[in-house]
């Protein structure tokens, strides 16, 4: 798997000294309060980047898949975002210690690859977070339902998971879903909802769909 990643050509000579971490779903890869200076490169699975406020509210900042850097990357730019990383699925990552990163950063080709990958994710992340301020909760949830539906079926892990991803309270989520049911555009199932009127949801989320289109094409 490592040979199929973009980083391989830059680190193949260092592989004997690069630790590999295997994480189980729910296990933390790094925590905001523990500073090590290490970065990580995902070669299998998903890592969720989250921020928790002083009052315990959790914000999902990003979800990264294989062939991506993850860790306190913002610290490189002296802008520590105070984020933690947790395995969204079972995952495997390379541990890129600070001393190794300092050496790799001397290579122009690696430097270009690193900044291309990380800067693209930062802009996608920023746009996702900005959308929460620009659009109403109805628009945000309608867009989420459309984006995460398969055919006409929208399934989700839990309401709590939706709250984390969208930054909307449980009460807010339930109220909006109830209104959508009342309008006849969705129908409750045992493990989710059936979309009965896609055009209705598309109309509610129209401006957000247009706003997010480029980001979703690139992500």
Q: How many C-beta atoms surround the C-beta of residue 46 within 10 A?
A: 18
Q: Confirm whether 38 is domain-assigned.
A: yes
Contacts of 44 (CB under 8 A, 6+ apart): 1, 66, 90, 91, 92
Residue 35 confidence (pLDDT): 77
What pLDDT score was predicted for residue 76?
65
- Kindly state whether residue 165 falls inside one of the protein's structural domains: yes
Q: Quick one: pLDDT at residue 51?
A: 84
CATH code of 56's domain: 2.60.120.10
Query: What is the pTM (predicted TM-score) of this model?
Result: 0.72
pLDDT at site 126: 80
Last-in-domain residue among 59, 94, 123: 123
Asked, for residue 128, whether it belongs to a domain, the answer is no
Q: Which of 123, 158, 190 is the last residue of a domain?
A: 123
Residue 129 lies in a domain: no
Q: Are residues 69 and 151 in the same domain?
A: no
As for how many domains the chain has, the answer is 2
pLDDT recorded at residue 214: 64
78 in a domain, yes or no? yes
Residue 65 within a domain: yes
Residue 180 and residue 119 share a domain: no
Range of the domain at 182: 135-217
Is 130 part of a structural domain of the chain?
Answer: no
**Same domain as 115, residue 18:** yes
* 98-106 own/partner pairs: CB under 8 Å, 24+ apart: 98/36, 98/37, 98/38, 100/14, 100/17, 100/18, 101/39, 104/10, 104/11
Same domain, 8 and 83: yes
pLDDT at site 59: 79
Give the end of a domain, one of 70, 92, 123: 123
Indicate whether 153 and 98 sit together in one domain.
no
Tell me, what's the pLDDT at 215?
A: 54
Answer yes or no: do 109 and 146 share one domain: no
> Contact 186/193 with Cβ under 8 angstroms?
yes
One digit per residue, the tens of pLDDT, for the chain of length 219 reads 788 889 999 999 999 999 999 999 999 999 988 877 899 999 999 999 988 776 677 778 889 999 999 988 766 666 667 889 999 999 999 999 999 999 999 999 999 999 888 888 878 878 888 888 899 999 999 999 999 999 899 998 888 888 888 888 899 999 999 999 999 999 999 889 999 999 999 999 999 999 988 655 544
pLDDT at position 157, please?
A: 83
């Amino acid at each position: 798997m490592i040979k199929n990643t973009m980083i391989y050509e830059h680190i193949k000579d260092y592989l004997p000294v690069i630790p590999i971490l295997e994480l189980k779903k729910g296990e933390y890869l790094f925590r905001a309060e523990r500073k090590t200076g290490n970065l990580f490169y995902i070669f299998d699975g998903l890592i969720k980047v989250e921020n928790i406020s002083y009052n315990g509210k959790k914000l999902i900042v990003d979800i990264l898949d294989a062939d991506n850097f993850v860790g306190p990357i913002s610290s490189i730019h002296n802008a520590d975002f105070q984020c933690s990383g947790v395995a969204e699925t079972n995952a495997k990552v390379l541990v890129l210690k600070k001393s190794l990163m300092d050496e790799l950063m001397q290579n122009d080709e690696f430097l270009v690859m690193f900044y291309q990958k990380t800067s693209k994710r930062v802009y996608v992340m920023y746009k996702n977070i900005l959308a929460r301020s620009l659009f109403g909760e109805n628009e945000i949830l309608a867009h989420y339902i459309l984006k995460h539906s398969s055919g006409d079926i929208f399934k989700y892990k839990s309401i709590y998971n939706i709250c984390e991803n969208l930054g909307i309270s449980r009460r807010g989520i339930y109220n909006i879903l109830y209104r959508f049911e009342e309008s006849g555009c969705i129908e409750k199932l045992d493990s989710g909802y059936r979309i009965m009127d896609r055009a209705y949801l598309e109309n509610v989320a129209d401006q957000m769909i247009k706003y997010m289109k480029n980001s979703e094409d690139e992500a």
